[in-house]
Amino acid sequence: MKSMVKSYAMPFLGMAFFWVYFRYQSFFGLLYPLELDGRAFGLSLVYPVFLTFLLALCVVAVLAGGLLERVLRKRRLFVPFAGILGSVGVMSSFAAIEGLLPLWVVWMAMPLVTLSFATGCWAWALFFCSRFTFEGVTVMIASYGASLLVLSQGVPYLIAALAPAAVGVTWKFAPFPRVACCEDRGLSSFKEGTSCIVLLIVFLLAGSVLRGIVDTAESNSGGLMLRWPFSLVLSGGMLAYVVRCEKKRREDVADVVGARLALSVERIVLKMWMALSLLFFAALFGGFLEGSYIFSGNIVVAVRSMLDVLLWVTLCGFSYAKKASPILVFSVFGIPTDVASWALSYVAVPDALDAWADGGFAQALDALALLAAFASLVSVVVVLGWSLTRGSLSAGFIEGAEESVFPKSHADQSDVRSLRLTEREAEVASLFARGHSVKKVASLLFISTSTVQSHMKSVYRKLGVHSRDELKEKLSGR
């Protein structure tokens, strides 16, 4: 029971609070409201400066190489400490905005909030990249839905204050990230397999432009915020699809360890992206017909929110498959994308709409929406065309990887049924035959070491073997 809590509950709870950062109205909109133009100490500039600080931290992380990853692994208290400091910074900022503390405290607390967000992102990226399984993907998607369902309601200021500390403390009590086999190749590890990541990022940024349009339109018209129910429906659909794929994988004994490419995570993500893209363009077209983007625009924003989750899953899978440092991957692709997205939605687009308001607000909305749609279509044509010309489209979502992000079996899986093994026994036996220790098999499959040992005793008894070498011969020498 204790192992299950550490393996599932802590990551689930930590990521649920981490996703709070991604809802502007639930965190940064409360912490750094941009309408404070008339207040002293230039408070309207705090949010743009915060985004600049995040980019600076990413540059430091890239230049530091593997130093930051070693700190997170060896100094486990650093992450919860940074999270607690972030919560102190959030509460201090709230007190200053309400007049309980001097306004300059907002500026002093801002670096603490910046550090806590970046540290939380790197820490959980390290965890999910080192434990990249179907179960891990399920936790990421389910935690997003739970965050929408529970943490977006109730007492927003309390949740915003608790979020940084909760992200850090839960990471401390989660299973220790296993040592990943990362090759210290720096940015050279990004030479292949990044085209589809770029495609996701372009779609996400195009959706950020439309999110800025919808927020501005709704603030001007008093429209009803519909993205919350739409996002819940989409996250529930994504979760149901992943669970269905996992169930099918387990029921198919002939492919119990996920060797079939159609059920690998990269293909699952690609299929979900295709479905979301169709909904994206359908809602965008509906917005042109609607004219106000109130209803259809919220669908586009909900789709765009799901791309945040897909990008996280994709970056974790990319790091796992390419043996690239999770810190480096998220410092190059993850956090900078978040910064660009937030800057577009809450700084650039509102300012652009205000500047174009004299020429007609509706015309400005249409111009930006058409620009976002054009950027999305161009990215599809360029990336897919480039992939087709290189002949890499069939390599899976994480192109260039030498194998699927999941370990393949040593056994001829067409003969697994004749071995009289259950699906879990075959999965454990396959990983054990590859040379993984009992502890590592348990961490990969999110089960306890005692469960692994029990399965291996059953496997040895059924196959009549007495050592790992005999197990290898039994599975591969048939």
Q: What pLDDT band is residue 413 in, cutting at 50, 70 and 90?
A: very low
401 CB burial (10 A radius; 0-12, 13-18, 19+): buried
Burial code (b: 16+ CB inside 10 Å, e: under 16) for 317-344 equals bbbbbbebbbbbbbbbbbbbbbbbbbbb
CA 166 to CA 169: how far, in whole Å?
5
How far does Cα 90 stand from its chain's mean position?
A: 23
Residue ranges in 434-467 assigned as alpha helix (H): 438-445, 449-463
Of 94-98, 250-254, 338-342, 355-359, the one with minimum mean pLDDT is 250-254
Token readout for 43 is 């408070």
- How much is the average pLDDT of 409-422? 54
**pLDDT tens digits, one per residue of 200-218:** 888 788 878 877 877 766 6
What value does the mean pLDDT of the chain take? 76
DSSP one-letter string for 353-418: HHHHGGG-HHHHHHHHHHHHHHHHHHHHHHHHHHHHHHT-GGG-SSTT-SS-SSPPPSS-GGGTGG
264 Rama sector, left if φ>0, alpha if ψ -120 to 50, beta otherwise: beta
CA 70 to CA 78: how far, in whole Å?
11
Token readout for 340 is 């660009």
**pLDDT tens digits, one per residue of 146-186:** 888 877 766 788 899 999 999 999 998 888 765 554 555 55
What is the chain's percent helix, strand, coil content, to nearest 5? 80, 0, 20
Q: HSE-up of 413 (CA within 13 Å, CB side)?
A: 20
Percentage with pLDDT > 70 across the chain: 69
CA 114 to CA 267: how far, in whole Å?
34
**pLDDT tens digits, one per residue of 20-46:** 888 777 788 888 876 655 455 556 788
Contacts of 105 (CB under 8 A, 6+ apart): 92, 93, 95, 96
CA 370 to CA 395: how far, in whole Å?
33
Provide the terminal-to-terminal Cα distance of the chain, rounded to the nearest Å: 38
CA 169 to CA 165: how far, in whole Å?
6
CA 238 to CA 240: how far, in whole Å?
5
For residues 11 and 210, the model is more confident at: 11
Q: What pLDDT band is residue 112 in, cutting at 50, 70 and 90?
A: very high
**pLDDT tens digits, one per residue of 354-385:** 766 555 555 555 556 666 666 666 666 555 55
- How much is the average pLDDT of 266-287? 77
Q: What's the whole-model pTM score? A: 0.74
Token readout for 273 is 């992206």
The per-residue pLDDT for 75 is: 84
The per-residue pLDDT for 412 is: 41
CA 174 to CA 88: how far, in whole Å?
23
Radius of gyration of the CA atoms of the chain, in A: 24
Tallying the residues shown for the chain, one arrives at 478
Contact (CB, 8 A) for 438 and 449: yes
